[in-house]
Amino acid sequence: MPLFALFCADKPDSLPLRMATREAHLAYMAGFRDQLRLAGPMLDDKGDMAGSILFLEADDLAAAQAFSAGDPYRQAGLFDHVHITAFKPTVGTLG
Protein backbone atom coordinates (compact mmCIF):
# COMPACT_ATOMS: atom_id res chain seq x y z
CA MET A 1 0.00 0.00 0.00
CA PRO A 2 1.41 3.46 -0.83
CA LEU A 3 2.77 5.64 1.94
CA PHE A 4 1.80 9.30 2.39
CA ALA A 5 3.38 12.03 4.51
CA LEU A 6 1.02 14.56 6.08
CA PHE A 7 2.53 17.84 7.27
CA CYS A 8 -0.01 19.80 9.34
CA ALA A 9 1.03 23.20 10.72
CA ASP A 10 -1.06 24.71 13.50
CA LYS A 11 -2.42 28.23 13.31
CA PRO A 12 -0.52 30.69 15.51
CA ASP A 13 -1.48 30.74 19.20
CA SER A 14 -3.70 27.68 18.85
CA LEU A 15 -2.29 25.46 21.61
CA PRO A 16 -5.51 25.80 23.68
CA LEU A 17 -7.56 24.51 20.72
CA ARG A 18 -5.12 21.64 20.21
CA MET A 19 -5.37 20.65 23.86
CA ALA A 20 -9.18 20.90 23.84
CA THR A 21 -9.44 18.50 20.89
CA ARG A 22 -6.48 16.23 21.69
CA GLU A 23 -8.50 13.34 23.18
CA ALA A 24 -10.82 13.22 20.16
CA HIS A 25 -7.81 13.38 17.83
CA LEU A 26 -6.02 10.53 19.61
CA ALA A 27 -9.20 8.41 19.56
CA TYR A 28 -9.51 9.03 15.81
CA MET A 29 -5.86 8.08 15.27
CA ALA A 30 -6.37 4.85 17.23
CA GLY A 31 -8.91 3.79 14.62
CA PHE A 32 -6.14 3.90 11.98
CA ARG A 33 -3.48 2.12 14.03
CA ASP A 34 -2.90 -0.47 11.28
CA GLN A 35 -2.28 2.23 8.65
CA LEU A 36 -0.23 4.73 10.66
CA ARG A 37 3.49 4.07 10.44
CA LEU A 38 4.66 7.08 12.46
CA ALA A 39 2.84 10.09 13.87
CA GLY A 40 3.45 12.84 16.38
CA PRO A 41 3.47 16.54 17.11
CA MET A 42 5.91 19.09 15.82
CA LEU A 43 7.28 21.37 18.54
CA ASP A 44 7.92 25.10 18.57
CA ASP A 45 10.97 26.81 20.09
CA LYS A 46 9.41 26.60 23.57
CA GLY A 47 8.75 22.88 23.24
CA ASP A 48 4.99 23.31 22.83
CA MET A 49 3.05 21.30 20.26
CA ALA A 50 2.67 23.34 17.08
CA GLY A 51 1.64 20.90 14.35
CA SER A 52 1.59 17.26 13.35
CA ILE A 53 3.56 14.97 11.07
CA LEU A 54 2.08 11.63 10.08
CA PHE A 55 3.09 8.80 7.79
CA LEU A 56 0.02 6.91 6.64
CA GLU A 57 -0.47 3.90 4.40
CA ALA A 58 -3.48 4.57 2.16
CA ASP A 59 -4.84 3.26 -1.13
CA ASP A 60 -4.27 6.59 -2.87
CA LEU A 61 -4.04 10.34 -2.35
CA ALA A 62 -7.84 10.66 -2.13
CA ALA A 63 -7.90 8.19 0.76
CA ALA A 64 -5.12 10.10 2.57
CA GLN A 65 -7.05 13.34 2.04
CA ALA A 66 -10.23 11.74 3.41
CA PHE A 67 -8.30 10.54 6.46
CA SER A 68 -7.02 14.07 7.02
CA ALA A 69 -10.47 15.61 6.55
CA GLY A 70 -11.87 13.35 9.28
CA ASP A 71 -9.24 14.30 11.86
CA PRO A 72 -10.88 16.19 14.75
CA TYR A 73 -7.95 18.63 14.74
CA ARG A 74 -8.70 19.53 11.14
CA GLN A 75 -12.44 19.68 11.73
CA ALA A 76 -11.86 22.06 14.64
CA GLY A 77 -9.89 24.43 12.40
CA LEU A 78 -6.58 23.90 14.20
CA PHE A 79 -4.36 23.77 11.14
CA ASP A 80 -3.06 26.77 9.22
CA HIS A 81 -2.21 24.46 6.35
CA VAL A 82 -1.95 20.77 5.53
CA HIS A 83 0.33 19.31 2.88
CA ILE A 84 -0.09 15.68 1.82
CA THR A 85 2.34 13.95 -0.51
CA ALA A 86 3.33 10.45 -1.53
CA PHE A 87 6.45 9.37 0.32
CA LYS A 88 9.11 6.74 -0.35
CA PRO A 89 11.41 5.95 2.57
CA THR A 90 14.96 5.23 1.46
CA VAL A 91 16.97 5.53 4.66
CA GLY A 92 15.92 4.37 8.12
CA THR A 93 12.66 2.70 9.05
CA LEU A 94 9.10 3.72 9.84
CA GLY A 95 7.42 1.67 12.58
Q: Given pLDDT bands bounded at 50, 70 and 90, which one contains residue 92?
A: confident
Tell whether 42 is covered by a domain.
yes
The parent domain of residue 37 ranges over: 3-83
Confidence (pTM): 0.93
- Count the domains in the chain: 1
Which residues lie closer than 8 Å to 79 by C-beta, 6 or more apart?
Answer: 8, 9, 10, 11, 51, 73
Question: What is the per-residue pLDDT across 8-41, written as a single tens digit (0 to 9) for each?
Answer: 999 999 999 999 999 999 999 999 999 999 999 9
Tell whether 39 is covered by a domain.
yes
Tell whether 91 is covered by a domain.
no
Tell whether 77 is covered by a domain.
yes
User: C-alpha angle 71/73/76, rounded to 5°?
Assistant: 110
Q: Given pLDDT bands bounded at 50, 70 and 90, which one contains residue 83?
A: very high
Whichever domain contains 60, its CATH number is 3.30.70.1060
Tell whether 16 is covered by a domain.
yes
Tell whether 78 is covered by a domain.
yes
Instruction: Give dist(CA 42, CA 50) in Å, integer.
Output: 5
Tell whether 21 is covered by a domain.
yes
Provide, rounded to the nearest whole percent, the portion of the chain with pLDDT above 70: 98
Instruction: Give dist(CA 71, CA 22) in Å, integer.
Output: 10
